[in-house]
């Protein structure tokens, strides 16, 4: 019984989410896909008590086996991040405007700031708040993400094809803060800079009030430091040639080395790296009128360089927290219940109220229908009485309409008859003259005499279509008819090829 109730609860939550009445919940798996490795995590509670068996870190070649390795079912909802995906993430301010106009305004603003073509990019944004300016105007502060949706479509489809139910695509800039907030590494009073050091680039994300308020990427990563160490130099021990493999080994074993010559090769990159962090922090504090950043949190494999934490802390003068675990991003993906920005392509989003997926929902649907039928039964008697009353009223209304139609016809007939009797319409003359001018090739079908203009409408068939103009000329030359006009003429399959079906209108001469 508990299992049935549990499944029923999940279905209700899913329906509420589809209808926009509830934040997305129930993400089962967080999947962080890098260029060489992927990290997957299953979080049932918080990040603090996730068991090791629910974390998987493997080479990218094993990604196709992840459903088997983690026992992932089609019902498991998955949030994913594609590390290395080219995104433009910007903190921007716009003049106050309706929400529906923000996306187009962002497109122009991003084009101006990045000097790139944003016309083909998809844009998502998260509103941080509003600011009242001294001149009385208002501006909107927000975080915007611009990206190529087609690129994400290809990657999401690959995951769908191996059986993964991807429900969210969330950038690193939002998944790492979720881990930091849940782990208690940054409280609501902290303003923390999360520095995620990747292979070839790093991302600096500033979190305030446990929300992402700023993000910036810099082109320095772990591999940049390795490349700086490569080369040939001479020491007391002789000539030393640092290949990439040797430089990587020194980084892994020694971290920031004590050897002055080796350190001299690393120092320019390290100083540039620290300078970029410092500039980002200063820009946030001064240009965005924020409070001081009070801590730095390191993340990413590049952050595991021995001595780097102490080096950054000493150079910047801020507390540097411990390096986040390798699975922090995949765990953070699971912890986001209401994504500020979800880059999942539109074609993969579940349509609202789209499917009855399983038996539990069908049971709920049957129960709901039974409740409706029961309520309907209580109202049936009153409904029948109302229908009877409506039918009686409808019959009375129909009778009144018939009487009105008859009355209107009588008035029209009476008016026409009075005009004919008074001599204002010479119907007899019209009939007599018509018999004189109608040629043998014309067969009249209708002759309508009216009180309003045009007084006469003549319909019929002329066997020789080319003689129609002659017939109209006879009517015009008659002393009885005037303003002769052709309403229409057309061929018909019912008559010979040369025949025309026609309609002519004219007036009687007074």
Maximum distance among all Cα pairs of the chain, rounded to whole angstroms: 136
Tell me whether strands 122-132 and 87-95 are parallel, antiparallel or unpaired: unpaired
Average pLDDT of span 99-107: 90
pLDDT in tens, 119-157: 889 999 999 888 888 888 899 999 999 998 898 999 999
370 occurs within a structural domain:
no
Measured between alpha carbons, how far apart are the two ends of the chain, in Å? 95
Tokens of 133: 């300016």
Question: Which residues, 6+ apart, have CB-to-CB distance to 69 below 8 Å?
Answer: 56, 58, 62
Q: Indicate if 215 and 264 belong to the same structural domain.
A: yes
d(CA 208, CA 205): 10
**The pLDDT value given to residue 158:** 94
316-347, pLDDT tens digit by residue?
A: 999 998 789 999 999 999 888 888 899 999 88
Both 57 and 168 in one domain: the answer is yes
Give the model's pLDDT for residue 187.
Answer: 86
On whether both 72 and 219 belong to a single domain, the answer is yes
Q: Is residue 366 part of a domain?
A: no
Name the one residue in this structure whose structure tokens are 């049935």. 4
CB neighbour burial string for 436-453, b if at least 16 within 10 angstroms, e if fewer? ebbeebbeeeeeeeeeee
Question: Is residue 371, in this structure, part of any structural domain at all?
Answer: no
The C-alpha angle 148, 155, 213, rounded to 5 degrees, equals 50
363 — pLDDT class (breaks 50, 70, 90): low
> Contact 430/454 with Cβ under 8 angstroms?
no
Note the pLDDT tens digit of each residue in 371-411. Answer: 777 777 767 777 777 888 888 888 778 777 766 766 665 66
> What is the predicted pLDDT for the residue at 423?
53
Encoding tokens for residue 190? 């902290």
Q: Which of 308, 333, 360 is the last residue of a domain?
A: 360
The string of DSSP letters for 263-326 reads HHHHHHHHHHHHHHHHHHHHHHHHHTT-----EEEEESGGGGSTTHHHHHHHHH-SEEPPPPPT
pLDDT at 292 over 90: yes
Beta-carbon count within 10 A of 457 CB:
15
Residue 391 structural domain:
379-424
pLDDT at residue 3 in the model: 44
Instruction: Read off the pTM.
Output: 0.63
Query: How many domains is the chain partitioned into structurally?
Result: 4
Closest CA to 455 of 424, 478, 433: 424
Pick from 31-35, 53-57, 400-404, 487-491: least confident:
400-404
Q: What pLDDT, in 10s, does the model give residues 172-194?
A: 889 999 999 888 888 888 999 99
Peptide bond into 454 cis (omega under 30): yes
Q: Which of 182-196, 207-221, 352-366 has the lowest mean pLDDT?
A: 352-366
CA distance 301 to 323: 9
Identify whether residues 30 and 58 lie together within a single domain: yes
> Residues 122, 152: one domain?
no
In a shared domain, residues 180 and 197: yes
User: pLDDT category, 17, cuts 50, 70, 90?
Assistant: very low
20 pLDDT band (50/70/90 cuts)?
very low
User: pLDDT value at position 372?
Assistant: 74
Indicate the pairing of strand 77-82 with strand 55-59.
unpaired
pLDDT the model gives residue 69: 93
Examine the fold and report which residue of 326, 360, 394 is the final residue of a domain before the chain moves on.
Answer: 360
**474, containing H or E segment:** helix 468-477
Residues 355 and 414 in one domain: no
More confident residue, 496 or 259: 496
Contact present, 429 and 418 (Cβ < 8 Å): no
Please indicate whether residue 15 or residue 218 has the higher confidence score (pLDDT). 218
Give yes or no: residues 130 and 182 share one domain. no
Q: How far is CA 219 from CA 147, 195, 196, 488, in A?
A: 18, 13, 12, 78
In a domain, 474, yes or no: yes
**pLDDT tens readout for residues 226-273:** 888 776 665 555 566 777 788 788 888 888 877 777 788 888 899 999
Tokens of 129: 């708040």
- What residues contact residue 305 under an 8 Å CB cut-off, 6+ apart? 222, 225, 251, 255, 256
Return the CATH number at 347: 3.30.420.40
pLDDT in tens, 419-458: 555 555 567 777 888 888 888 888 888 888 887 888 889 9
**Residue 234: enclosing H or E segment and its boundaries?**
strand 231-235
pLDDT at 422: 53
On average, the pLDDT of the chain sits at 82
Last residue of a domain, one of 424, 457, 480: 424
Which DSSP letter does residue 98 get? -
Query: Residues 256, 331: one domain?
Result: yes
DSSP 4: H
Assess if residue 367 is contained within a domain.
no
Specify the pLDDT at position 410.
61
Same domain assignment for residues 159 and 211: yes
pLDDT at 1 > cutoff 80 = no
Cβ contact 335:182 at 8 Å? yes
Looking at the structure, tell me whether residues 77 and 196 fall in a common domain: yes
Range 30-59 average pLDDT: 85
pLDDT band at 293 (very low <50, low <70, confident <90, very high): very high
Residue 274 falls inside a structural domain: yes
Q: What is the pLDDT of residue 2?
A: 46
Distance (Å, whole) CA 136 – CA 314:
43
> DSSP state, 89?
E
Q: What is the pLDDT at residue 7?
A: 47
Residues 96, 39 within the same domain: no
Q: From CA 62, how far away is CA 64, in angstroms rounded?
A: 5
Q: Specify if 373 maps to a domain.
A: no
Q: How large a percentage of the chain has pLDDT more than 70?
A: 82
- Which of the listed ranges 151-155, 356-360, 412-416 does the model predict with the highest average pLDDT? 151-155
Residue 369 lies in a domain: no
Average pLDDT over residues 206-232: 87
pLDDT given for residue 395 in this prediction: 75
Q: Please say if the pLDDT value at position 416 is more than 90.
A: no
| Cβ pair 478, 438 in contact under 8 A | no
Q: Is residue 32 predicted with pLDDT exceeding 90? A: yes
pLDDT the model gives residue 183:
87
């Amino acid at each position: 019984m508990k299992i049935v109730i549990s499944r029923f609860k999940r279905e209700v939550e899913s329906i509420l989410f589809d209808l926009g009445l509830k934040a997305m919940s129930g993400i089962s798996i967080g999947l962080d896909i890098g260029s060489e490795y992927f990290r997957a995590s299953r979080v049932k509670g918080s990040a603090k008590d996730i068991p090791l068996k629910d974390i998987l870190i493997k080479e990218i070649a094993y990604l196709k086996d992840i459903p088997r390795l983690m026992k992932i079912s089609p019902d498991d909802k998955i949030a994913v991040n594609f590390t290395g995906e080219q995104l433009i993430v910007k903190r921007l301010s716009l003049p106050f405007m309706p929400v529906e106009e923000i996306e187009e305004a962002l497109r122009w603003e991003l084009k101006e700031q990045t000097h790139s073509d944003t016309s083909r990019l998809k844009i998502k944004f998260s509103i941080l708040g509003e600011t009242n300016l001294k001149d009385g105007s208002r501006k909107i502060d927000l975080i915007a993400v611009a990206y190529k949706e087609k690129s994400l479509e290809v990657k999401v489809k690959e995951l769908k094809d191996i059986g993964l139910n991807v429900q969210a695509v969330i950038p690193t800039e939002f998944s790492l803060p979720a881990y930091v907030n849940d782990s208690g590494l940054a409280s609501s009073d902290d303003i923390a800079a999360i520095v995620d050091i990747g292979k070839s680039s790093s991302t600096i994300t500033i979190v305030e009030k446990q929300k992402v308020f700023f993000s910036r990427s810099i082109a320095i990563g772990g591999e940049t430091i390795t490349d700086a160490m490569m080369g040939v130099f001479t020491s007391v021990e002789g000539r030393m040639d640092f290949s990439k493999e040797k430089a990587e080994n020194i980084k892994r074993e020694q971290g920031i080395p004590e050897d002055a010559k080796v350190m001299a090769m690393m120092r320019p990159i390290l100083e540039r790296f620290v300078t970029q962090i410092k500039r980002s922090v200063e820009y946030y504090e001064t240009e965005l009128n924020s409070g001081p950043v009070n801590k730095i949190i390191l993340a990413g494999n590049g952050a595991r360089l021995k001595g780097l934490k102490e080096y950054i802390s000493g150079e910047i003068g801020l507390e540097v927290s411990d390096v986040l675990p390798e699975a922090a991003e995949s765990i953070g993906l699971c912890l986001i219940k209401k994504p500020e920005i979800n880059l999942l392509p539109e074609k993969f989003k579940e349509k609202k109220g789209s499917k009855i997926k399983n038996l539990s929902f069908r049971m709920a649907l049957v129960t709901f229908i039974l409740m409706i039928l029961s309520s309907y039964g209580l109202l049936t008697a009153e409904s029948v009485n109302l229908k009877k009353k409506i039918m009686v009223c409808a019959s009375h209304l129909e009778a009144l309409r018939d009487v009105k139609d008859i009355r209107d016809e009588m008035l029209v007939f009476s008016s026409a008859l009075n005009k004919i009797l008074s001599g204002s319409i010479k119907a007899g003359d019209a009939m007599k003259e018509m018999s004189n001018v109608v040629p043998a090739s014309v067969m009249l079908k209708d002759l309508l005499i009216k009180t309003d203009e045009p007084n006469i409408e003549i319909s019929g068939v002329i066997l020789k279509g080319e003689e129609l103009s002659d017939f109209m000329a006879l009517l015009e030359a008659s002393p009885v008819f005037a303003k002769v006009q052709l309403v229409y003429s057309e061929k018909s399959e019912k008559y010979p090829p040369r025949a025309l079906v026609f309609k002519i209108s004219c007036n009687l001469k007074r």
